[in-house]
Amino acid sequence: MINALRGMKDTISPTSEIYAHIIETCTKIAQNYGFSFIETPILEETALFKRSVGESSDIVGKEMYQFIDKGENDVCLRPEGTAGVVRAFIQQKFDKAGGVRRFFYHGPMFRYERPQKGRLRQFHQFGAETFGEGSVREDATIILMLKAIFESLGIGYTLEINSLGCPACMPLYKLKLVQFLETLDGLCEDCQRRKLTNPIRVLDCKNEHCKILLADAPLIVEHLCSTCKEDFATLRSILDQFNVAYVVNPKLVRGLDYYSKTAFEFVSNEIGAQSAIAGGGRYDRLVEFLDGKPTFGVGFAMGIERLMELVKMPEVKREGYYIGALCEEAKSVVYNLVIQKRETSKVLTQYEPKSLKSHLSNADKNYVKFCVCIGEDELSKGVVWVKDLESKEEKMIKLENF
RNA sequence: GUGGGUGUAGCUCAGUCGGUUAGAGCAUCAGGUUGUGGUUCUGAGGGUCGUGGGUUCGAUCCCCAUCACUCACCCCA
């Protein structure tokens, strides 16, 4: 027997209905916010992710599905969605055309990790990106949009925000942080490495000993330049104004290297250790890293599988027909009726004749509203027997009027 | 990559201190006097007890290995 690969899942009804419901809800809200759908390839050149996500990140460092294709191209399955969208944006020369553009996407992402609750090797994200808008109001808008999505889906969350600073203040802060880290003794192995590759990540270390050592670490929020400071204050005041509850987490750093200024994460405490349900922020430098003309960028991504555990589906109503034959002679009449009725309604059937009891039972299991049967009596009179499974009302209807 | 837990029917799980035909509930199918579901009653089908080796007169049970699933670390959505 051949099974699906580790960390890859089939999504089947009723779970698939929840998946579709999430996509539908997100799509509608994103459209209300002026975003348009973009679909980009799942397979991209490896260099795209190395340059955007960053070689120091674990995603690129050890989690990519990377291989050489038959044309000797170094390619990989996308581990996240932003890079491809930015690549498409630049390829379409939207950076040169200028103006503001908003895109949303959804689809599979691939990371070669050890699976656990809320973490798959092939998982699905819904995300959105705004290009060419430098105002922090866009950052706030994206958070408000996520709030609207989660409210519509009936999902509880907590929101953490932070500012990572810009090229004017971040490098100075980084120096200060490294100086501080040099004074520490006994940081974990990972942190020793991070100190050199990406010192900001040390702040995010979960190691208990490191946490204690880092208690007095300088924080980026205290070293922001005046612009970043102002923007962060504006963001907070907008969130306050619209009653979005949040906590400032000065140690929140995003796992992808391209973020600057606003960073945020939506977290749930009901889905296990992998608790982030959406994350995002600003990436004003990313377009130029990928050879485009400098263009502002903000966006987010959310993990659909993690959301699925939290979404309660609205109750479904009985819908459509089930049509069955009670005798051999009625088979073809039933079949014709089924095909004809499907032009307007949902219709289920059973090709072989069965007892009335069996048909009713099938109709009920399929949760249709009407059970329709044709037997010898109905054939001779040119009628069909129809039962409303909710009201239990039964009728004989002329074949041509059905 | 590292650690813990679990593998018995389609699903959820009992069970055998090692002993002959391995059980239940749910689900499926068929019936309950010749055409009435979501509530009952009766019956049937369905298992090489994850796989491979070892110990033993005998292993689903004990031991070893292996694989799979799962949770956690790490990382992230």
Beta strands in A320-366 (DSSP E): 321-325, 347-349
**Who among residues 217-256 of A has its Cβ near strand B, under 7 Å?**
254-256
Report pTM: 0.91
Q: What tokens appear for A132 in the block? A: 């060419």
Report the helix count and the strand count for chain A, using DSSP H and E: 15, 16
Is A218 inside any structural domain?
A: no
Strand B close to A16 by CB, under 7 A: no
Q: Answer whether residue A10 is part of any domain.
A: no
- A394 nearest nucleotide via C1' and CA: B36
> Of A279, A308, A337, which closes a domain?
A308
Cα gap A188→A44, rounded to integer Å: 35
A206: nt with nearest C1' to CA: B74
Domain boundary among A278, A308, A338: A308
Report the distance from CA of residue A73 to the C1' of nucleotide B5 in Å, as an integer: 42
Q: From start to end of A90-223, where are the E strands?
A: 101-110, 122-131, 158-163
Which residue, A302, A291, A379, A287, is CA-closest to A333? A379
Q: How far is residue A125's CA from residue A123's CA, in Å, rounded to a whole number?
A: 7
Domain encompassing residue A350: 321-398
Are residues A19 and A154 part of one domain? Answer: yes
Q: Tell me which of A264, A279, A308 is where a domain ends.
A: A308
Please indicate, yes or no, whether residues A235 and A383 belong to a single structural domain of this protein: no
Identify whether residues A246 and A119 lie together within a single domain.
Answer: yes
Indicate whether A263 and A328 sit together in one domain.
no
CA distance A60 to A109: 13
Q: What is the pLDDT of residue A251?
A: 84
* Nearest nucleotide relative to A360: CA against C1': B37
Q: Specify whether A61 is located in the same domain as A130.
A: yes
Judge if the beta carbon of A56 is closer than 7 A to nucleic acid strand B. no
Residues A185 and A293 occupy one common structural domain: no
CA of A348 to C1' of B62 (A): 54
Q: Is the CB of A118 under 7 A from strand B?
A: yes
Asked whether residue A63's C-beta has any atom of DNA/RNA strand B within 7 A, the reply is yes
Residues 18-47 of A with CB under 7 A from strand B: none
Q: What is the pLDDT along chain A (402 residues), one digit of tens a residue?
A: 788 899 999 998 888 999 999 999 999 999 999 999 999 999 999 999 999 888 878 888 789 999 999 999 999 999 999 999 999 999 999 999 999 999 999 999 999 999 999 999 999 999 999 999 999 999 999 999 999 999 999 999 999 999 999 888 888 888 888 888 888 777 777 777 777 777 887 887 777 777 777 778 888 888 999 999 999 999 999 999 999 999 999 888 876 777 889 999 999 988 889 999 999 999 999 999 999 999 999 999 999 999 999 998 877 889 999 999 999 899 999 999 999 999 999 999 998 888 899 999 999 999 999 999 999 999 999 999 999 999 999 999 999 988
A329 touches strand B (CB under 7 A): no
A79 and A111 Cβ atoms separated by less than 8 Å: yes
pLDDT, position A239: 97
Are the C-beta atoms of residues A18 and A313 closer than 8 Å to each other? Answer: yes
In-domain check, residue A1: no
Within a domain: A315: no
3-state SS assignment for residue A4: coil
Q: Do A266 and A376 fall into the same domain? A: no
SS3 of A393, please?
Answer: coil
Residue A275 and residue A156 in one domain: yes
For A298, the token pair is 């903000």
Q: A57 and A112: one domain?
A: yes
Q: What is the dihedral of CA A140, A143, A144, A150, to 10 degrees?
A: 180
Do A273 and A339 lie in one domain? The reply is: no
The answer as to whether A6 is a domain residue is no
- On whether both A245 and A393 belong to a single domain, the answer is no
Residues in chain A: 402
What ipTM was predicted for this assembly? 0.86
Contact of A116 with A273, CB cutoff 8 Å: yes
Shared-domain flag, residues A176 and A230: no
- The verdict on residue A75 lying in a domain is yes
CATH (domain of A118): 3.30.930.10
Write out which nucleotides of chain B lie closer than 7 A to a protein Cβ.
Answer: 1-3, 28-31, 35-38, 68-77
Phi first, then psi: give them for residue A296, nearest 5 degrees.
-65, 150
Q: How many domains does chain A have?
A: 3
* Per-residue pLDDT at A68: 94
Judge whether A391 lies within some domain: yes
A78 vs A66: CA distance, rounded Å: 9
CATH number at residue A349: 3.40.50.800
How far apart are the C-alpha atoms of A38 and A54, rounded to whole Å?
Answer: 23
Q: Is residue A8 part of a domain?
A: no
